[in-house]
Each structure stands twice: as structure tokens, then as C-alpha cells.
Amino acid sequence: MNQRILFFALLWLTLSAQAQTLEECQQAAERNYPLIRQYDLIDKTTDLTVANIQKGWLPQISASAQATYQSDVASFPEQFQQLYQQMGLDMKGLSKDQYRVGIDVSQTVFDGGMIKSQKIIAREQGKVQAAQNEVNLYQVRKRVNEMYFSLLLTDEQIILNNDLQQLLSVNEKKLASMVKHGTAAESDLKNVKAERLSVAQQAINLESQKRMLQAMLSAFCGIEVSHPQKPAATVAGSANNRPEMRLFDAQLRLADAQQKALGAAMMPKLGVFAQGFYGYPGYNMFDDMMHHRWSLNGMVGARLTWNIGALYTHKNDKAKIQLQREITETNRDVFLFNSQLEQIQENEEIARYKKLMADDEELIALRSSVRKAAESKLSHGIIDVNDLIREFNQENAAKVMQSMHEIQMLKQIYDNKYTTNN
């Protein structure tokens, strides 16, 4: 019982690992393509950038140490010094060598919305990168389509090649019997046999091409693709849902966020600060003139700043963002225009193949009828073997063309789906 369960489990895994439809291959290829990992990297990078910007609300702490020697220092006039000496005070004055080890702490209270604007811009930049990655990843579908339909066409050609080999084999046996009874020439038998071997060689090439396409498609999708199925001939809608459209939208939203940030850059900034240092001289200058010793000193306060320099470039910065927005809108118009031209061409190709396919069945029926008549004539010795082989080839060519028309029409339909993403 356990062995049966294991067998069916392995069978299910095997079948589930073999993509049978075009959509399954496309989805598997997107999951397997290394570019898919870019999404997670973009998200992590964006989160780190936003987290760093958010830290702008944390207190900013800086430590410093300095030692200086200056050419002159503040001191009392000589008359004052004589007066102090008469009073018994030794007013040495400030020393020319000075030292300081301190810490400065500042805290933003109001930034005019700058940090918030920077966070919005960072997130919008992340969305632009993700949208660009989606555009790059979408191109994988085009490559899957090329290999998938090439594999379908090769499968059809192999089937038709086998049919032609069987026809030639049947007539080869018929001719062998006729040669044995003296009603056909040995050269006719050899001619048919040579044609069958030539068709068999074509089969070897087709099988090799099939294995190559299967290996390439399987490697590209990351799963085994063994039995591709013909997709349904459903025509795509006309609306354009390509990832490029989402990229253009993301770029426009980024421009809007950047324009809003210009207003925040012109707002005043309010903060509080605290400064403390240990050194010489301190804030009590008179005491330091009398005693050359280090002391602790501190200061707290509030600071309002307004960088009016942002006004100088505001107009130009705003114009640059507007130009970038217009470039994005122009790129979107160009993309839609080119996509529309591609749709026109693809729809015309689809219509052409449909018209060709309308006559394929009748053409094959006529070629089959002529070939059967030629086989009958051969049995009665009233047709040349070369004429019979020509009829075989013409019938097979008609079947090959029917398969090509069908596969090419399906490919054009799915190229049209790729053009519009519908």
C-alpha cells in the first residue's frame, strides 16, 4: 500500500513538473529568471533608505576636541592691571594656548515637511525601479513564445514526416512485390527506397532540433517541458496593459513627489540644541584670566533657521521637474504609437493566415486524391515512379504548409497578446 502511494506521489510530481501550456511555461520562466530576485533587493533597499531618512528625527550628536595656540588674546589694559595689582589681584589674562573637549546635541522640532517628502520620494523611486524590473522581466515571455512555437512546429513536422515515411514504406513493399513478379523495374524500387531514406534523414534532423528546443525551453523555464500543447486561438483585447504603462505612471508620481519636496525645502526649520565642553577658557572669561584651569561649561537653546537660498533655484528646479514629466509623457505617447503599429501589423498577419488556412483543407484533400490515383496507376503500371514520388512530396508539402499556417497564426495571436498584455 505504501509503495502504491509512493508511486502515485512520484507520478504526480513528475506530471506537475512538466509544463504543458504556454501560460505555464511563461510563469515558470519568470519565476526561474534570475531577474526575479531583483524585486526583493529593491524592497530591502527602499526600506533601508526610508529607515535612514526617518532617523533624521533622532537627536544629532557630535563630539569634538581641539587645541589651539593664537597670536593674541583678550586682556585688560596695562592701567587696569596696575590697578588690580594695587588691590592685591593677580589678573594674568587669558593664556594663548587653549583646549576644548565637547559634545553638541541638536534635535529637530519642525522641518517644514522635508523628512516626510524625502521618504515619499524614496518610496516612489523604489516603485520606479520595481516597474522597470517588471518591464525587463516581461521580455522573458517573448523568448518563451519563440521557443514554444518553434517546438510546436517541429512536433507537427515530425508527425508529418512519419506519415510520409509510412506511405513510402507501404509503396516500397508494393514495388518489391511487383519487382518479384516482374511487373516493375528494380530501379523503381531503389528510387522509392532512396526517397524513404532521405525522408528518414530529415526525421533525424527534426528530432535533433526538437531535443535542442526542449532542452533550451526546459532550462529557460527551470522545469521539464516535454509535451507542449497548442494554445487556444483567442484574440487579445485592444487595451494596452503592458508593464511599460505602469513604469510611466510610476515616473510621473515620482515627479509629483519631487515637486512637493521643493515647497518643503523653502520652509523654515526649528530645532533645540545643547552644547557642553570641558576645557580652557570657559564661558567665565574673567575667572579664566585669573586662574588658568579647565572647567565644565554648558549651553542650551532653540534655533530657527530659514535657508532663503532655496528661493534662488526654486523656479529652475520646478521647470526641470516639469520637463522630466513632459519627457515621460512623450515616451508614453511614443510607446503607445509603436504598439498600435505593431497591433495593426499583427492583426493583418492573423487575417492573412486565416485566409490561407481556409484553402488548406481543400488543397490537402485534392493532393491526397491525386496521390491515391497515382498509387493506383502505379499498380497498373501506367505511371512513372518519379511522378508518384512527386505526388507524395506535394501532398506532404501541403500538409506541412497547413501546419505552418496554423502555428504561425497562433504565434501571431500570442505576439499580439504580448504587445498588449491581454
The arithmetic mean of pLDDT across residues 79-103, rounded, is 78
CA diameter of the chain: 156
The strand ranges marked E within 9-153 are 60-69, 97-110
Q: What are 114's three cell numbers?
A: 522635508
What pLDDT score does 10 carry? Answer: 47
CA 198 to chain centre: 46
The CA distance from 232 to 276, in Å, is 78
Q: 386 pLDDT band (50/70/90 cuts)? A: confident
What pLDDT score does 104 carry? Answer: 95
Residue 5, pLDDT above cutoff 50: no
Name which residue leads in pLDDT, 198 or 181.
Answer: 198
What pLDDT score does 148 carry? Answer: 95
- CB within 8 A of 315, min separation 6: which ones? none
Helix (H) or strand (E) holding 302: strand 295-305
Find cell 533655484 and name the residue. Answer: 313
What pLDDT score does 308 carry? Answer: 85
The CA distance from 204 to 206, in Å, is 5
Q: 14 pLDDT band (50/70/90 cuts)? A: very low
What pLDDT score does 79 carry? Answer: 67
Q: What is the DSSP letter of 280?
A: E
Edge-to-edge strand order for the sheet containing 97-110?
Answer: 60-69, 97-110, 269-280, 295-305
The arithmetic mean of pLDDT across residues 303-311, rounded, is 87
Q: What is the dihedral of CA 318, 320, 322, 325, to 10 degrees?
A: -140
Predicted TM-score (pTM) above 0.85: no
Beta-bridge partner residues of 97: 69
Residue 171, pLDDT above cutoff 90: no
The CA distance from 321 to 272, in Å, is 34
The CA distance from 220 to 216, in Å, is 6
3-state secondary structure at position 106 = strand
Find cell 508620481 and name the residue. Answer: 253
The arithmetic mean of pLDDT across residues 177-186, rounded, is 83
Question: Taking all residues of the chain, what is their mean pLDDT, rounded to a whole number?
Answer: 88
The arithmetic mean of pLDDT across residues 284-293, rounded, is 83
Residue 209, pLDDT above cutoff 60: yes
CB 395 within 8 A of CB 333: no
CB 60 within 8 A of CB 106: yes
Residue 82, pLDDT above cutoff 90: no
Find cell 497548442 and name the residue. Answer: 230
Residue 88, pLDDT above cutoff 90: no
Residue 16, pLDDT above cutoff 70: no
CB 113 within 8 A of CB 264: yes
The arithmetic mean of pLDDT across residues 400-417, rounded, is 94
Residue 295, pLDDT above cutoff 60: yes
- Say how many C-beta atoms besides its own lie within 10 A of residue 23's C-beta: 13
What pLDDT score does 81 carry? Answer: 67
Q: What is the dihedral of CA 358, 363, 369, 375, to 10 degrees?
A: -140
Helix (H) or strand (E) holding 297: strand 295-305
The CA distance from 275 to 61, in Å, is 10
What pLDDT score does 8 carry? Answer: 39
In a 10 Å sphere around its CB, with 0-12 CB exposed, 13-18 middle and 19+ buried, how is residue 263 labelled?
A: middle
Least confident segment among 12-16, 144-148, 362-366, 380-384: 12-16
What phi, psi does 355 have (nearest 5°)? -65, -40
Q: What is the dihedral of CA 55, 60, 66, 71, to 10 degrees?
A: 120
Q: 182 pLDDT band (50/70/90 cuts)? A: confident
Closest CA to 189 of 200, 178, 201: 178
